Structure 1
Amino acid sequence: MCGKKSGLVGMVREKMREENCAEECGSEYADVPYHTEVRWLSRGKVLNRCFELREEICQFLETKGKDTAELREQKFLCELAFLCDISSHLDALNLQLQGRGRIITDMYAAVRAFKTKLCLWENQMLQGNHCHFPCCQTIKAQISTAVFPCAQFAEKLSVLAAEFSQRFADFDVQKCRFELLSNPFAVDVENAPTNIQMELIELQCNDTLKSKYDAVGAAQFPRFIPDTMPQLRTQAAQMLSMFGSTYLCEQLFSSMKMTKTTHRRRLTDEHLRSILRISSAQSLSPDMNELAPKKRCQPKPENAVTIAVSSRVLFRTETEQKVYEQKGVEEYLRYQVEHENEPFAPGPAFSFVKALEAVNARLRELYPESEELFDIVLVTYNHAHVGVRLINTINHHNLFIERFCMTGGSSPIGYLKAWQTNLYLSADAEKVREALSEGIAAATMFMSNKLTEVSQTQLRVAFDGDAVLFSDESERIFKTQGLDGFFQHERDNEDILLDRGPLKDFLASLGKLQNKFYAKGHRLDCPIRTYLVTARSAASSGIRALKTLRAWGLETDEALFLAGAPKGPMLEKIRPHIYFDDQMFHVEGAAEMGTVAAHVPYGIAQKHPHKKCLNTGK
Structure 2
Amino acid sequence: MSVSFSDYLVIGISSRALFNLEEENKIFETEGLDAYRQYQIEHEQEILKPGSGFSLVKNLLSINQTLNHKYVEVIVMSRNSAETSLRIMNSLDHYQLDIGRMVMSSGQDVSKYLKVFDVDLFLSCNEEDVNHAIQNGIPAGLIYAQDIEYQNDGQIRIAFDADAVLFGYESEHIYKTKGLQAFCENEINNQDEELTKGPLARFLFRLASLQKVCKEKNLLRTAIVTARDRNAGIRVIKTLRKWGIVVDEVFFLQGANKKEVLKCFGANIFFDDQEIYAAPASEVVPSARVPYKKGENE
Structure 2 length-normalised TM: 0.95
Instruction: Please list every run of at least 4 consecutive aligned residues from structure 1 whose deviation after the TM superposition is greater than 2 angstroms.
Output: 451-456, 603-608
Q: Cα distance 1:505–1:607, how it changes in 2: closer, same or farther (>3 A)?
A: closer
Task: Tell me, in whole angstroms, the C-alpha distance in 2 between the residues paired with 1:581 and 1:558.
Answer: 16
> Letter of the aligned partner of 1:353 in structure 2?
V
SS at 1:345 equivalent: coil
Structure 1: which 5+ runs fail to align?
A: 1-297, 609-618
Task: Tell me, in whole angstroms, the C-alpha distance in 2 between the residues paired with 1:507 and 1:380.
Answer: 24
Q: CA deviation at 1:517?
A: 2.5
Q: Could you tell me which residue of structure 2 aligns to residue 156 of structure 1? A: none
Q: Could you tell me which residue of structure 2 aligns to residue 600 of structure 1? A: 290
Task: Tell me, in whole angstroms, the C-alpha distance in 1 between the residues paired with 2:89 and 2:44.
Answer: 9
Q: CA deviation at 1:603?
A: 5.9
Residue 361 (1) aligns with residue 65 (2): yes
- Residues 172-191 of structure 1: CA deviation (Å, up to 9, x unaligned): xxxxxxxxxxxxxxxxxxxx
- Is the Cα–Cα contact under 8 Å of residues 169 and 296 in structure 2 kept in the other structure? no
Q: Could you tell me which residue of structure 1 aligns to residue 54 of structure 2? A: 350
- Is the Cα–Cα contact under 8 Å of residues 135 and 293 in structure 2 kept in the other structure? no
Task: Tell me, in whole angstroms, the C-alpha distance in 2 between the residues paired with 1:324 and 1:341.
Answer: 19
Task: Tell me, in whole angstroms, the C-alpha distance in 2 between the residues paired with 1:568 and 1:606.
Answer: 26
Q: Could you tell me which residue of structure 2 aligns to residue 537 of structure 1? A: 229
SS at 1:316 equivalent: coil
Task: Tell me, in whole angstroms, the C-alpha distance in 2 between the residues paired with 1:299 and 1:326.
Answer: 41
Count the aligned residue pairs: 297
Structure having the larger proportion of residues in strand: 2
- Is the Cα–Cα contact under 8 Å of residues 587 and 597 in structure 1 kept in the other structure? yes
1:372-387 equivalent positions in 2, closer than 5 A: 373-387=71-85
Q: CA deviation at 1:302?
A: 2.1
- Is the Cα–Cα contact under 8 Å of residues 352 and 577 in structure 1 kept in the other structure? yes
- Is the Cα–Cα contact under 8 Å of residues 472 and 603 in structure 1 kept in the other structure? no
Q: CA deviation at 1:362?
A: 2.1
1:57-72 equivalent positions in 2, closer than 5 A: none
1:287-366 equivalent positions in 2, closer than 5 A: 300-364=4-68
Task: Tell me, in whole angstroms, the C-alpha distance in 2 between the residues paired with 1:456 and 1:424.
Answer: 24
Q: CA deviation at 1:454?
A: 3.4
> Letter of the aligned partner of 2:21 in structure 1?
T
Residue 583 (1) aligns with residue 287 (2): no
1:26-45 equivalent positions in 2, closer than 5 A: none
Task: Tell me, in whole angstroms, the C-alpha distance in 1 between the residues paired with 2:109 and 2:55.
Answer: 26
SS at 2:4 equivalent: coil
SS at 1:346 equivalent: coil
Q: CA deviation at 1:300?
A: 3.4
Q: Cα distance 1:606–1:572, how it changes in 2: closer, same or farther (>3 A)?
A: farther
Q: Cα distance 1:325–1:453, how it changes in 2: closer, same or farther (>3 A)?
A: closer
SS at 2:177 equivalent: helix
Q: CA deviation at 1:314?
A: 0.6
Task: Tell me, in whole angstroms, the C-alpha distance in 1 between the residues paired with 2:248 and 2:38.
Answer: 48
> Letter of the aligned partner of 1:534 in structure 2?
T
SS at 1:335 equivalent: helix
1:236-255 equivalent positions in 2, closer than 5 A: none
Q: CA deviation at 1:326?
A: 2.3
> Letter of the aligned partner of 2:255 in structure 1?
G
- Is the Cα–Cα contact under 8 Å of residues 135 and 294 in structure 2 kept in the other structure? no
Q: Could you tell me which residue of structure 1 aligns to residue 92 of structure 2? A: 394
Task: Tell me, in whole angstroms, the C-alpha distance in 1 between the residues paired with 2:255 and 2:151.
Answer: 26
> Letter of the aligned partner of 2:96 in structure 1?
N
Q: Cα distance 1:549–1:476, how it changes in 2: closer, same or farther (>3 A)?
A: same
Q: Could you tell me which residue of structure 2 aligns to residue 406 of structure 1? A: 104
Q: CA deviation at 1:401?
A: 0.8
Q: CA deviation at 1:498?
A: 0.4
| Bigger Rg over Cα | 1
1:482-501 equivalent positions in 2, closer than 5 A: 482-501=179-198
Structure 1 length-normalised TM: 0.47
Q: CA deviation at 1:395?
A: 0.7
Q: Provide the identity percentage.
A: 38
- Residues 43-90 of structure 1: CA deviation (Å, up to 9, x unaligned): xxxxxxxxxxxxxxxxxxxxxxxxxxxxxxxxxxxxxxxxxxxxxxxx
Task: Tell me, in whole angstroms, the C-alpha distance in 2 between the residues paired with 1:442 and 1:529.
Answer: 19
Structure having the larger proportion of residues in helix: 1
Structure possessing the higher relative contact order (Cα contacts under 8 Å, 6 or more residues apart): 2
> Letter of the aligned partner of 1:505 in structure 2?
R
- Is the Cα–Cα contact under 8 Å of residues 175 and 183 in structure 2 kept in the other structure? yes
Task: Tell me, in whole angstroms, the C-alpha distance in 2 between the residues paired with 1:605 and 1:557.
Answer: 32
Task: Tell me, in whole angstroms, the C-alpha distance in 2 between the residues paired with 1:488 and 1:343.
Answer: 54
- Residues 475-523 of structure 1: CA deviation (Å, up to 9, x unaligned): 01111111111111112111110000000010110110111133xxx1x
- Is the Cα–Cα contact under 8 Å of residues 454 and 575 in structure 1 kept in the other structure? no
Q: Could you tell me which residue of structure 1 aligns to residue 260 of structure 2? A: 569
Q: Could you tell me which residue of structure 2 aligns to residue 442 of structure 1? A: 140
Q: Cα distance 1:299–1:527, how it changes in 2: closer, same or farther (>3 A)?
A: farther
SS at 2:179 equivalent: helix
